[in-house]
Structures are given as structure tokens and as C-alpha cells.
Amino acid sequence: MSDCCLKGFRWNGTPRGQEVILAGINCYRTGTESNVAILLIHDLFGWTFTNTRILADHLAEEVGATVFVPDFFGGEALPLDILLDETRWNELDLPGFLSRNTKLIREPEIFACATALRIEHGYTSLGAIGFCFGGWAVFRLGAKDVRLVDCISTAHPTFLEPEEIRQVDVPVQVMAPEHDPQFTQELKALSNEVLPMLGVPYDYQYFPSLTHGFATRGNLNDREEMLGAERAKDAAVLWFRHWLHKQRKTELIMVE
């Protein structure tokens, strides 16, 4: 993981949702839709980060969904005051933190939350969106041997492996900044080569001049970054509206 995963700015605003328990995990929930849900998998800033919750609020309102943001760091959080101050990054024990939050440790919890939304909460249409740390996870949720969600979206994914790209079997949206040491040019090229060949619907959104983290931690004082963050949010909204509500309409027609 590189420094780009730590860089970010805190946005203005007050989250409108509430904290609940999902599959035994603390979770931020926003929205009141009873059939359509989105599982948002947070970045390194964690589930309590204001920006993440504000973004979840926008998705809930604009998609017409209930959005869930569980804590996938086991109650641990990197200190926000240090994350927002690059001069203090040397105070972070990032290797130790990451060793406690590996894919092997967190994947079962992520799968459990998606399963709970389907089985216990009865959502018939379920999407997943992941930022940075959450990027690899949405590909796993949409893998051909898993398929716990109906569609996925990711912006500047981290820890994403080529085989995870090759195994996806649901509609995929990728939002890729030009400069990203995590979602490299090689991974971008692989996605654009492999995903169309898999036969899954694929939406690739490219953001020239922008860097890793822009979609959730863009600088409010940088017009280009904020326009990029807004464009990414709008793209995700259109993606989920299409696939999640399309799924719902199909089910209603079958019932009738």
C-alpha cells in the first residue's frame, strides 16, 4: 500500500443515517428502501469517516436504496487527525494495522454482511461499491463462485489481483484516476482487456489528471478534484439505478 491511500481531505456536512448492527458488526445505515440495498465497503479511513457516510447518504437518496457501511476493521481505526496531517504519518503503524486487516481476515465478514442483507433483511436487489481497500472486496462478492451481489462498482481499488478481475461474473463498473500506484496502468489495461471478454456488462470511467482517493477524499478547494468526485458519484448512481432497479422491475413482472 502506498502513501496515496493515506492522503485525503474531510468534507463538510452531517451524515443523516444511523448506526446499527449487521451480521454482528457495527454498521452505518442510511435510506429506507426495503427491496434495494447497497453494501459500501470503506477505504483506509474506515466506516466512521464523514466523507464515506455523506457519500452513502447521496447514494441512498439518489439511487433509491438503503446503503450499509459496516466496520470492516474490527473496531480499530487509524487516527483521523494523523491521517489528515502528512507530517505525522510516521506515527502510524500501518504495517501492523494492515496485518490485522488482511483479505483472509476480513473477507468472511464481508461475505456475512452481504448474506445477511439477502437472507435476514430480504433485499431482493443488492449491489456493492468499494473504495481503495474495499475495491478488491467487491470483485470477490461478484465472483462466479460467490455471486452474493447483483452488480459492483469500484473507484481506485487497492490490493486488487488479476485473478479477481478474471473471476468476476456480475456487471462491473470501474472508476479509474489517471495517477494511481495501486490500480496501475497494467491493471487498468487488464480490466479493459479481460472484462469485455467475460461477457459481463462493463462500464469503465476514466478520470484524467486525478489521483488515487479522489472519489472519497477529494480536496474541496480543488475544483478539478471535486468535479471528479461528483462525476464519480453520479456515475455510480446511474449504474446502480440501472442494475438494481432493473432487477426489481424484472421480479415484479414475473410475480404479476
Over residues 159-179, the pLDDT tens digits come to: 999 999 999 999 999 999 999
Model confidence at 256, pLDDT cuts 50, 70, 90, reads very low
Confidence of residue 248 (pLDDT cuts 50, 70, 90): low
Beta strands in the chain (DSSP E): 18-22, 25-30, 36-41, 66-70, 125-131, 151-155, 172-179, 202-211
Between the alpha carbon of residue 231 and those of residues 160, 177, 215, the distances in Å are 23, 12, 9
Other Cβ atoms within 10 Å of 237 Cβ, number:
18
Domain ranges (residues) in the chain: 3-255
User: What is the model's pLDDT at position 4?
Assistant: 44
Dist. CA 179–CA 4, nearest whole Å? 10
Average pLDDT of 80-105? 90
What pLDDT is attached to residue 247? 57
- pLDDT surpassing 80 at residue 62: yes
- Total-model pTM: 0.92
pLDDT at residue 42 above 90?
Answer: yes
Q: Which of 207, 109, 204 is nearest to 153 (CA)?
A: 204
- For the 3-255 domain, the top CATH level (class) is alpha beta
pLDDT at position 85 is 82
Mean pLDDT of 35-62: 95
Grid cell, residue 60, equals 441512498
How far, in Å, CA of 227 to CA of 177, rounded? 13
